[in-house]
Amino acid sequence: MGCALVLFIAAVVGYVNRSVDVELNGQKTAVRVGSTLQNLIDEQDLTDTYDAGDLLAVDDSVLKRHGGEKLSVKVDGKRVKQGKWDSRELEGGEKVTVKDGRNTYEKHEVQATVIEPKLKVEGTGAIEYVQTWGVQGRSEVWVGEQSGKTQDRGEVVPATDCVVACASVAPKGNKKYVALTFDEGPSGATKQILQVLKEKGVTATFFLSGDAAEASPATAKAIVDAGCEIGSNSYSDDSLKGQDRETVREQITKGTDAIKSATGVKTMLLRAPYAAFDEQNWIDAIENGVSRVHILDGRIPHCLLLEFYTNKGIGTAIIGDEEERFYNENE
């Protein structure tokens, strides 16, 4: 009976103290099952082996030597902060990397300023598309709680400028195409136009005004049912050029919402009324979810060329880089 009890206790102790292997700085190391990173650090005396980083003021001067991060610890390539060491359990097989601690900054207030991206247009041609989306940057001024110092940290996140690339296309071979477009509808003539298109076996693109779509939703829906493409002519027939951002936003979003309500189609295609659309309008349009902007104006180079010589293009298009093109480059 006594022998059996001893064996039982030994088995329990062995089970409790069983270990798994981890890799510590390239060396296989055994740790007890259920051990945490903190247990590993303590058992290996790693805080005595490596130096802590310094605590820095906001101007990079040293406030306290070795007052920064105690150790720089990564598990399987991912950094683990000191506050997580005692909760990060090791299951076996992990690769643990421990190095000298990094320098850290004193607690500080951050006064941030947004850096707006610029718009760059590169190349020439009738089709314009977003090659690189603009991303806001940020500059910061830090005010240290311990040192009381104020430091301009400059541009901590650089702005990414929006780059619009321009290109021209033409159909392969001697083929010629005509793209039919209609603006400011639906109108009293829309049903007649649809009938003629049906008889001729062709389709067209209708740039609808939001207010007109609200007034004649059945006619607007008939355009979609006929297989034609839907675009927006904004909400009302008012020029967008020179309007403030909120007005442009309202015209675009209210127009697309009204068209979707009438037709079930959420169009991302805009033709500005009177082709009056400047660069700032274009930026506002992209920010409000418009991915393609068409300008149909004979005064704009290549505009009519695109109108008559592509099978899908309609005027000058400004489109997002992930949007489907109006043409097939291989055709």
**CATH number, domain containing residue 136:** 2.20.230.10
CATH number of the domain encompassing residue 276: 3.20.20.370
Point out the least confidently predicted range of 30-39, 49-58, 114-123, 296-305: 296-305
State the pLDDT confidence band at 125, using cuts at 50, 70 and 90: low
pLDDT at 284: 62
Query: Which runs of E-coded beta strand occur in the chain?
Result: 19-24, 27-32, 55-56, 62-64, 71-75, 78-79, 95-100, 104-105, 108-115, 119-122, 127-132, 137-144, 150-157, 162-167, 181-185, 205-208, 229-232, 269-271, 292-295, 316-319
Residue 299 in this model has a pLDDT that exceeds 50: no
As a whole number, mean pLDDT of residues 201-215 equals 90
Domain limit, last residue, from 119, 138, 165: 165
pLDDT exceeds 60 at position 313: no
Residue 240 lies in a domain: yes
Of 203, 262, 271, nearest in space to 233 by CA = 271
Inside any domain, residue 11: no
209 or 180, higher pLDDT: 209
**Per-residue H/E/C for 305-319:** HHHHHCCCCCCEEEE
Residues 309, 194 share a domain: yes
- The verdict on 94 and 117 lying in the same domain is no
Closest C-alpha among 235, 246, 234 to residue 294? 234
Asked whether the predicted pLDDT for residue 319 surpasses 70, the reply is no
The answer to whether residues 160 and 210 belong to one domain is no
Residue 9 maps to a domain:
no
Domain identity same for 299 and 224: yes
Q: Which residues, in sequence order, are CB contacts of 264 under 8 Å at separation 6+?
A: 221, 224
Q: Which of 165, 191, 212 is the last residue of a domain?
A: 165
Q: Let me know: does 237 contact 204? Beta carbons within 8 Å.
A: no
Mean pLDDT of 195-199: 92
Q: For residue 233, is it within any domain?
A: yes
Joined together, the tokens standing for residue 206 give 């209708």
Statement to judge: residues 191 and 292 lie in one domain: yes
What CATH number should be reported for the domain holding residue 47?
3.10.20.30
Number of structural domains found in the chain: 3
**In whole angstroms, how far apart are CA 123 and each of 58, 127, 135, 201?**
44, 10, 21, 37
Q: What confidence category does residue 42 fall into, taking pLDDT thresholds of 50, 70 and 90?
A: very high
Residue 181 has pLDDT above 90, yes or no: no
Please check whether residues 228 and 310 belong to one and the same domain.
yes
Q: Are 315 and 188 in a shared domain?
A: yes
154 shares its domain with 80 = no
- Tell me the per-residue pLDDT of 143-158, one tens digit each, with 9 for 90 and over: 999 999 999 999 999 9
Other Cβ atoms closer than 10 A to 172 = 10
Distance from C-alpha of 74 to C-alpha of 94, rounded to nearest angstrom = 10
Residues 177 and 299 in one domain: yes
d(CA 172, CA 32): 71
| 91 and 114 share one domain | no
User: Distances in Å between the alpha carbon of 143 and those of 49, 108, 151, 155, 229?
Assistant: 34, 5, 6, 16, 56
Residue 12 belongs to some domain of the structure:
no
- In 3D space, the residue among 258, 247, 290, 294 whose CA is nearest the CA of residue 275 turns out to be 294
* pLDDT interval class at 111 (50, 70, 90): very high
* Model confidence band, residue 195 (pLDDT cutoffs 50, 70, 90): very high
User: Is the same domain home to 233 and 300?
Assistant: yes
Confidence (pTM): 0.51
To the nearest whole number, what is the mean pLDDT of the chain? 78
Q: Give the residue numbers spanning the domain of 121.
A: 108-165
Among residues 120, 141, 165, the one where a domain terminates is 165
Same domain flag for 235 and 313: yes
Local confidence band at 174 (pLDDT 50, 70, 90 cut-offs): confident
Percent of the chain surpassing pLDDT 70:
73
- The pLDDT value recorded for residue 105 is 96
**What would the mean pLDDT of 18-45 be, rounded to a whole number?**
89
pLDDT in tens, 225-278: 999 988 888 888 787 777 777 787 788 888 889 999 999 988 877 777 776 666
In a domain, 234, yes or no: yes
Q: Is residue 256, in this structure, part of any structural domain at all? A: yes
